Amino acid sequence: MNVGVLALQGDFREHIIALGECGVTGKLVKTESDIRNIEALIIPGGESTTISKLASAFGLSELISNRIADGMPTYGSCAGMILVAKSIIDPASDQETFGGIDMEVRRNAFGRQTESFELDLDFKSISGAPIRGVFIRAPWVESHGPGVEVLSNVEISGVTHPVAVRQGRVLATAFHPELTGDNRVHRYFLEEVCKK
Amino acid sequence: MSKANEAQVGGARVKRGMAEMLKGGVIMDVVNVEQAKIAEDAGAVAVMALERVPADIRAQGGVSRMSDPDMIEKIQAAVSIPVMAKVRIGHFAEAQILQTLNVDYIDESEVLTPADYEHHIDKWNFTIPFVCGATNLGEALRRINEGAAMIRSKGEAGTGDVSNATTHMRKIGSEIRRLTSMREDELYVAAKELQAPYALVKEVAETGKLPVVLFTAGGIATPADAAMMMQLGADGVFIGSGIFKSGDAAKRAAACVKATTFYTDAKVVADASRGLGEAMVGINVADIPVPHRLAERGW
């Protein structure tokens, strides 16, 4: 399968490595023709404002939105989660999202960098050892529609916040599996989200 | 259910990982809220909050120190992208202050007047990650050994002359390539020559790259400068005086962001270079007397 990793800014090379470990040769994509020619897309971690501004400056936003709406399997980690949300609670000025999951996200929800953390997570549909979640100035899902399946949660002072969600062919995580060397989330994307 | 109170904060992975998220981006020096907003609107991945850009520090002279916490907090309140701030080399008390302010990254910077001419800060003692400057591989590995989670080549700050950034990027790159071609038993002497810990030297020899993200800094003033640094192997770019000492800062900032993403596409860089107005005037590094060269600071 022809999987593209959006390479406008962020840790796109780490996603290419994770895909490679799953036996898939990912392709860095950053132009219209690149994006027309892929069958699935990963939106990496990075600065969501920068990625969305570059996407709109180069006329990619609408194309990506349309392709996601047409059913292209898509996975977003961290900044990528923000960009596949329907809306953002506290957007930077004129920040747009591509959409894909019926949810509202809160940026930097866990706080600034000194609050960035690692935590073992239960991840529905992935068995075995817990997934090590690496959260870096991470978002969480503030609210979501009925069609959204929550795959993983983090609890803070008794309140539960979804940090991994899926709606149809779109997957999003607030954390960065691409930084851990554990490629089970990428495998789940390729084997479950892309194929069904 | 995973509870956040079981979480591990301040580990090497979240510190180095933070820098991974900045890759392919431009970090811009700003001295007030207005500039910080212009930088965010232009697509900067982070801003460096400081009271004077390096060009003014150079022009005005005197001792240069950490910025006023009030000024840093105003910028933190104004933008949602990460905010970095600088401390003097070796000044761990300034770093303790910035940690309480919750800035996102500390730059232990040669641009400010050093506080210690022998020791750098023990950066492992902090939850907050540090970026440090380096002119060569040995210096980069000494900083990483002290806990730096990100390296930037130093260049010569506040000049608008990119030549030293080029020298430092080429030097770090060529020293890494040299290690990868060595026999294992030659690495011991290489570590001695680099004045760097053997374990880190061996890691670089095996992976062919630094264990942390490598940005470039010092003298970058145009989209072409940014594209050149990226092609020389930088993971991203710091632009200090180059943006807000130029004619049309907003336009130049956005142009440098585009050139950093599309650094291999000369057409995009050409378009980004059109009609930017006056670039910063700059100083040739060769005209700066050696004692006034900032890149010499750090040991």
Q: For the residues A2-20, what does the mean pLDDT come to? A: 98
Q: Taking residues B244-250, what's their average pLDDT?
A: 92
| CB contacts, 8 Å: B254 with chain A | 57
Tell me which H or E stretch contains B144.
helix B137-145
Instruction: Indicate the DSSP class of residue B86.
Output: E
Q: What is the pLDDT of residue B278?
A: 85
Q: Which one of B237, B261, B264, B271 would you mutate to disrupt binding with A, by most A Cβ within 10 Å of its Cβ?
A: B261
Contact (CB, 8 A) for B145 and B194: no
For B236, the 3-state DSSP assignment is coil
What's the pLDDT tens digit per position in B30-63? 999 999 999 999 999 999 999 888 889 888 888 9
Alpha-carbon distance values, A45 to A6, A39, A50 (Å): 10, 20, 11
What's the confidence (pLDDT) of residue A114?
Answer: 95
- Got the DSSP string for chain A? --EEEE-SSSSHHHHHHHHHHTT---EEE-SHHHHHT-SEEEE-SS-HHHHHHHHHHTT-HHHHHHHHHTT--EEEETHHHHHTEEEESSPPTT------EEEEEETTTT-SGGG-EEEEE--TT--SSPEEEEESS--EEEEE-TTPEEEEEEEETTEEEEEEEEETTEEEESS-GGGTS--HHHHHIIIIITT-
Question: Which residues on A lie below 8 Å from B25 (Cβ)?
Answer: 9-10, 46-47, 50
**CA A183 vs CA A2, B13, B211, B289: distances in Å:** 18, 16, 20, 53
Identify which of A117, A137, A180 has the shortest CB distance to residue B9. Answer: A117
**What Cα–Cα distance (Å) separates residue B60 from each residue in B26, B57, B276?**
26, 5, 27
Q: What is the pTM of this model?
A: 0.96
Which two three-digit tokens encode residue A39? Answer: 């069958």
Number of CB pairs, chain A paired with chain B, less than 8 A apart:
151
User: Which stretch of A59-73, A88-102, A137-151, B186-200 has the lowest confidence by average pLDDT?
Assistant: A88-102
Kindly indicate the confidence band of residue A8, based on its pLDDT and cuts at 50, 70 and 90. Answer: very high
Mean pLDDT of A5-27: 98
> Per-residue pLDDT tens for A102-132?
999 999 999 999 999 999 999 999 999 999 9
CATH number of B12-292: 3.20.20.70
Domain spans of chain B, in order of start: 12-292
For residues B103-113, average pLDDT = 97
Whether residue A93 contacts residue B40, with contact meaning beta carbons closer than 8 Å, is answered with yes
Considering chain A, what percentage of its residues have pLDDT values greater than 90? Answer: 94
Q: Which two tokens stand for residue A158?
A: 């008794």
Residue type, A72: M
The token duo for A105 is: 């996200």
B255-292 confidence digits (pLDDT tens): 999 999 999 999 999 999 999 988 888 888 888 888 88
Residues of A in contact with B261 (CB under 8 A): 7-9, 30, 54
Out of B7, B129, B257, the one facing A50 most closely (by C-beta) is B257
Question: What was the ipTM of the complex prediction?
Answer: 0.96
Q: Tell me how crowded residue B208 is: count the other CB atoms within 10 A of its CB.
A: 10
- Of A93 and A16, the structure prediction assigns the larger pLDDT to A16
Q: Do A114 and B10 touch (CB under 8 A)?
A: yes
Q: What is the pLDDT of residues B213-229, one digit of tens each?
A: 999 999 999 999 999 99
**The predicted structure's pLDDT at residue B247:** 87
Q: How confident is the model at residue A196 (pLDDT cuts 50, 70, 90)?
A: low
